[in-house]
Each structure stands twice: as C-alpha cells, then as structure tokens.
Chain A
Amino acid sequence: MDDKVLLSVRNLQTHFELRRGVFGRAGVVRAVDGVSFDLRHGEAIAVVGESGCGKSTLARTILGLYRPTKGTVLFAGRPLDGDLRWYRAQIGYVQQDPYGALPPFMDVHRILTEPLVINNFKGDREQRIREVLEEVKLTPVEDFVHKFPHQLSGGQQQRLVIARAMILKPKFIVADEPVSMLDASVRVEILELLRGLQSSHNLSVIYITHDLSTVRYFTERIFVMYAGKIIEKAPVTELLKNPLHPYTQALLAAIPDPDPQNAVTMKKIPPGEPPSLVNPPSGCRFHPRCPAFIAGLCDQETPPEFEPSAGHCVECWLYR
C-alpha cells in the first residue's frame, strides 16, 4: 500500500433501517452506498453535492460516529473497528452549526479541556489551551477563556469549534459545511483560517460543502457526490474547467454568477429532484434526470469507475 495514504476507504456503505411501528421494517435508507477513495497525508479534498446526497453521513461514518454497514475504512493502515479510542485523538471534527456544537454550560476553558482529559493528554494543559486559542486567533486569550458560547459571535464560536478540533494536534480534520451557517463576511476568514492550519500543520482535510464557490480556497481534489455515491473525482482546476459527468456539468452551470444577462434568461438545470435513497433508481442513479441518457444501458447497469484522463475518475457510461 502507498505509504503516503492516510485514509483509505473501500466500498463504504452506511444504511439506516426505517422502522414502522415496533416490529415492521419499512425499508433501508442507503445514505452512503459504495464509496471508495484514498486521502493522502496533508491533502485536502472537498466533497460536494446537494442536500440529502449522503455527504454528512459519509463524514460521520469516517469519524466513526456511525458504524458502516459494509466496506472498510483504514486509517494509517489500521482498520476502524471495535474500540476507536486510538483514532479519536487523531481526528478533528468541525461541525456545521457552531452554536449547537458547543455545550452551552461549559465555558471556553472547559470546552477545550474536555478533549485533553478524555484523551489523557500528557503535558501542560493550560499551555496547550493558550497555544490553540492563539492559533485560531481568539486573542487576547484572557478575554475569551472564561466566556460561554452564547457570549461569542458566530465567527468566534466557529473558531472555538476549530480550536477544539485542533487541540489534540490531529493529523486529519473533517469539516462538515463549516461556513454554511456563518455570515458571508465571516466565511472568508474562517476558510483562510482552515487553509492556514492545513498548510502549517500538514493536515489532511475532508471539506464537505454544497457550495462550489468556497471549494477553491484550499482543496486539491473535488469529489462530487450524488445519491450516496461519489460520481466524479478530479483535481479542482481540472474539474471546474472540464467536468465530465452530466451531473457535475449541471452543478457547475448552476453556480450563480453576477451576469446581468441572468435576469432575462433562465439557466438549464436538470429536471426532477434528487432520487429517494430508500428506492434509488436502477443502473446509474442520475439516469432519470440525465440529458445524455443511453437507453438500455444507463437504466440497467450501474456504471463502474472510468478514468478518461489521469487522476480524473468518473462513474458514467459516456466514458466507457
């Protein structure tokens, strides 16, 4: 196996059982359904996709919060199963809603002490708390250390969440839509902060977002997710310039741009809605909405991963 690979995900599936009443089974939600990728040391990737496509479930499965139904996750060559305590200290989790992510009854100091206590941090705790607060620029530290979450602004709360994720010096951070709940003016600062931390600590990052315009900030590769599957993987510039999958093309076309012409013309967006994850369409999951759909193939067979150019993978029969 490649030495530089930090996280290796193979055919990951996370399904949730739907219950009806006490005994009835109403079906299975295939939130993540066969995802494979490798994440290298110090690499930042973005996972994009619309709401309900399984992005957050993927993130939480990788974090070990949900048990995968099938498939494997290897972290530094070690599988995630059984007791995950060794793994917890190596990953950081940055959540979407910073206010909800912070326990309201703990002050900044307590919030940052918790991971140190839980993971049995050896060394000067006070020193580490000070360092990490300076790193996320909650300074002067004295002003913040005894504040409660509700006394902080949204941006400060998100800095605190990042500080908590960073305090154990993890190798790897999962950021689940870290800026979508913030004001536009604060977003850039938080993204800059994440990028700074990523490069100074050589962090691997999985950045989950539905907003393609923030992807360019610090990621190297983009994964496009649709209905529980990653349908296209490519380096950022390559994907933005030369999207292959019809869904990606539609997604890029939907990025708003400040062109006065937009007021008079409507953009072409794929018809229909994202498919149900309980009964996904047969074959390629995008085929009911796809403009380039090949009858007899796309609706019958699930496309495997093709690699039309080096480093650019796509699950679409058009590139067979």
Chain B
Amino acid sequence: MTEKPVSQGQLIWRRFRRHKLGALGGMIIALLMLLTLFAHFIAPYDYATQRRRFAFAPPTKIHFFDKDGRLSWPFVYGLSRARDPRGVRWVYRENTDQVYPIKFFVKGDPYKLFWLIPTDIHLFGTGERDPNSPGQIFLFGTDDVGRDLFSRTLIGGWVSLSIGPLALAISLTLAIVFGGISGYFGGGWDNFIQRMIEVLNSFPGLPLLLALAAILPPGLPPAISFLLIIMILSILGWGGTARTLRGLFLVLREQEFALAAKAMGASNARIIFKHLLPNTLSYLIVSATLGIPGLILAEASLSFLGFGIRDPMTSWGQLLNQFTDSTITNLTYHPWLMIPGFFIIVAVLAFNFMGDALRDATDPFSVQGR
C-alpha cells in the first residue's frame, strides 16, 4: 500500500523494458528510423548519381594501417578496374599508390535535409567531387550503373519503413470504425459492412494490382505513386482486422461495464472508443506489428510489378527486385546486392520482437512484479 502509484503508461514502459528481445527490437527500429531520417546526410552520395566507371564495384575496404603497417587515419585506396581475364566482367583492384583519407562533413552531392533544407554536407566521404575519380567510398558496393548501394539502402529505407506504419494507420482506422460499428450496433449496419468486406476480400489481389498498374500513367511523380501504394495497401488490407474487431465488440458490448457506461449516459461513440476499444489494444498491437512486415513485403512486390517505387527512386524491396533478372550471375559475382534484403529481415524481426513485448506490456492482468 505504500507503493507510489504509477500511471498506466509508466507500467507499460516498465514491463516493456524488462522484455529483453523486445527492447532490442525497439532499439533496432529506433536506430533504423534515425538512420533513414538522416539518410541523405549519412549517405556519402545521392541515391540517383551514376558512376558508370564503377558499375558492380564490390564494397570498398577501409584501411586503418598503411602500406608499411603503421596505424593511420582511416583511408581508402584508389580504385582501378580491369577486364576479367575471361573478359566477361570488370574486376576492381586497389591501387596502393593512391591514398584517400576519409574526411568528415565533406561537400558532396546536393540534397535537402528533411526534404526542406538545401545543403551539400555529408557525414563522411573522400571529398572527391569528380565522379570518375578513383577515390570513391562504396560501403556496400555499387549496382549495375554504378550507384552507391549504401546510399540507396539508407534512402530507400525511409520509403520501406514509412510505408508500413502509414498504410497501417489508415487501414487500422478503417478497421476500427467499420469493425466497431458493425459489432457494436449489429443489425442492418452489421450485415451491410460484413457483405462489403466479403466483396472486398473476393477481389483477386494480384490481377487487381496488375490492372491498376496498367491504368496508371507511367510518368507518375514518385510522391504520388508512394501515396497511391499506401492507399491501395490500406484499402485492400482492413477487412480481416475489421472482422476480428467486430467479433471482439460483439462480446464487449454485452459486458457489464458497457452497460454501466450506457446507464451513465455515455454516447455510443464514447462507449465504442473509450470504454470498449482499449480492451482490444493487445489484439490491435499484435495485428499492427504483424501487419507492418507484411506491408513492407507487399510494397516490395508492388514495386516488382512495376506499380510502386520505380527507378531511380528506391526502397529496400525495389533494391532487391533489381537483381531478379539475372539471379545466378548476381549471386555469384555481386553478392553485396543482397544487403538490402538483410535490412528487410532485420526490420521485420525487430518489429515482431517489439510487438511481442508490447503485447505482454499492455496486458493489464500481468502481475506487476514479474
């Protein structure tokens, strides 16, 4: 009884931190979000700049010891390319005579920080503005036209990470409103909404997307196609969640506390949103965290179909999809092109761990001391 009262938020936070994997997942997501938010600044190059002299360059090695084995300021050697003896591809060699120390806060490709502030300062780089200069730094290597994969991964990460939550926010809102009305009021509205969901769910998804891709003009600005993807994913995705919520509301509206709220004169909206909805929170959180990875993957498949993120604009899914045409060659000779896939896996796992921890943390019936 002497225990200091704590708010529900504090309780959730306390339980969440105790969940080690979940906290790790949360930290990874926070880190990824930060990386992608400052992507243009951290990335040494612009996502669209091509350096054709350096197509399919492997990840650049960063050296801490010079030729004579002495410790030195980190640097890269100049990159020179030559034909493979068999003549099918370029191979890259380090030219140990050319030393390019890594510099911080260097001027490079211009960009807009937070899409607002125009600047050309990058966190690190070699400071070489000439695209043909041998002094390049490609942490994850380059793609077929010599674009830096590290820069593209960071900048594409913003698209991948924001599509999930944004599409989810819209589809959850739809699911809550329609599922709530359907379950709480029942009767005619319930019937109408359930039939609507059935119609929605009976659309064949893939052909529908293909048809949409065919209808929409190819020259759509990236921002518009980004928003369109979000709209499509959320409009196609709310049905299942709404169904489950309807079931939960059917049970909840019969609970004594719903009756108590009604007896004290609460409006239907208040009963639905303030008294009943919080009881579905743990379901919503699970559904959301399982939904985000699904949406990240859905965005990738949309991009693959040509409707969605298109070159030169990029996302993790789009980065992966660009090496589907010649998989075997790419896997053998350019394995670094799979690095964006690693980011997808990490993000998906992190969201799942975090969702698991949040579900435990929001459960009001869990014992405080555990």
Q: Chain A residues in contact with chain B, CB under 8 A?
A: 60, 63-65, 84-85, 88-89, 91, 93, 95-97, 100-107, 114-115, 118-119, 142-143, 145-148, 150, 161, 164, 168
Q: Find out whether the CB atom of A103 lies under 8 angstroms from the CB atom of B257.
A: yes
18 A-B contacts (beta carbon < 8 Å): A65-B262, A84-B265, A88-B264, A95-B256, A95-B259, A95-B260, A100-B255, A100-B256, A100-B257, A101-B259, A103-B279, A104-B364, A105-B281, A105-B364, A119-B265, A143-B1, A143-B5, A146-B6
A103-B257, A142-B5 are contacts. A88–B281 as well, Cβ < 8 Å? no
Does B81 sit at the interface, judged by CB under 8 A?
no
Pairs of residues from A and B, 3 with the lowest C-beta to C-beta distance, nearest first? A88-B265, A146-B5, A100-B256
- Contacting residues, chain A, for B264 (C-beta < 8 A): 88, 93, 114-115, 118-119, 164, 168
Q: A88-B265, A145-B5, A164-B264 are in contact. List 18 more A-B contacts (CB 8 A).
A: A63-B263, A65-B263, A84-B265, A93-B263, A97-B256, A101-B257, A102-B257, A103-B260, A103-B275, A103-B279, A104-B364, A114-B266, A114-B274, A114-B275, A143-B5, A146-B6, A146-B7, A147-B5
Does B278 sit at the interface, judged by CB under 8 A?
yes
Does B297 sit at the interface, judged by CB under 8 A?
no
Q: Chain B residues in contact with chain A, CB under 8 A?
A: 1, 5-8, 255-257, 259-267, 270, 274-275, 278-279, 281, 364-365
Q: Find out whether the CB atom of B263 lies under 8 angstroms from the CB atom of A89.
A: no
- Contacting residues, chain A, for B1 (C-beta < 8 A): 143
Kindly report which residue of chain A lies nearest to residue B264, judged by CB atoms: A115
B283 to nearest A CB, angstroms? Answer: 13
- Contacting residues, chain A, for B5 (C-beta < 8 A): 142-143, 145-147
- Contacting residues, chain A, for B263 (C-beta < 8 A): 63-65, 88, 91, 93
Interface of chain A, helix or strand or loop or mixed? loop
- Contacting residues, chain A, for B262 (C-beta < 8 A): 65
Q: Find out whether the CB atom of B265 lies under 8 angstroms from the CB atom of A103.
A: no
Kindly report which residue of chain A lies nearest to residue B368, judged by CB atoms: A151
Cα(A214)–Cα(B340), bound, Å: 72
Pick from B257, B259, B274, B365: contact of A65, CB below 8 A: B259
- Contacting residues, chain B, for A107 (C-beta < 8 A): 8
Pick from B6, B255, B260, B275: contact of A93, CB below 8 A: B260
Cα(A85)–Cα(B265), bound, Å: 6
Kindly report which residue of chain A lies nearest to residue B5, judged by CB atoms: A146
Cα(A145)–Cα(B6), bound, Å: 10
- Contacting residues, chain A, for B281 (C-beta < 8 A): 105
Cα(A150)–Cα(B6), bound, Å: 15
Cα(A72)–Cα(B6), bound, Å: 48
Q: Find out whether the CB atom of B278 lies under 8 angstroms from the CB atom of A105.
A: yes
- Contacting residues, chain B, for A93 (C-beta < 8 A): 260, 263-264
- Contacting residues, chain A, for B259 (C-beta < 8 A): 60, 65, 95, 101
Kindly report which residue of chain B lies nearest to residue A142, judged by CB atoms: B5
Cα(A115)–Cα(B1), bound, Å: 27
A105-B281, A119-B265, A145-B5 are contacts. A164–B270 as well, Cβ < 8 Å? no
Cα(A84)–Cα(B267), bound, Å: 11
- Contacting residues, chain B, for A164 (C-beta < 8 A): 260, 264
Cα(A115)–Cα(B274), bound, Å: 13
- Contacting residues, chain A, for B365 (C-beta < 8 A): 104, 150
Cα(A91)–Cα(B263), bound, Å: 8
Q: Find out whether the CB atom of A103 lies under 8 angstroms from the CB atom of B261.
A: yes
A175 to nearest B CB, angstroms? Answer: 12
Kindly report which residue of chain B lies nearest to residue A102, judged by CB atoms: B257
Q: Find out whether the CB atom of A118 lies under 8 angstroms from the CB atom of B256.
A: no
- Contacting residues, chain B, for A100 (C-beta < 8 A): 255-257
Cα(A142)–Cα(B5), bound, Å: 8
Pick from A88, A101, A115: contact of B256, CB below 8 A: A101
Cα(A115)–Cα(B264), bound, Å: 6
Cα(A44)–Cα(B108), bound, Å: 85
Pick from B6, B270, B278, B279: contact of A118, CB below 8 A: B270
Kindly report which residue of chain A lies nearest to residue B362, judged by CB atoms: A105
- Contacting residues, chain B, for A145 (C-beta < 8 A): 5
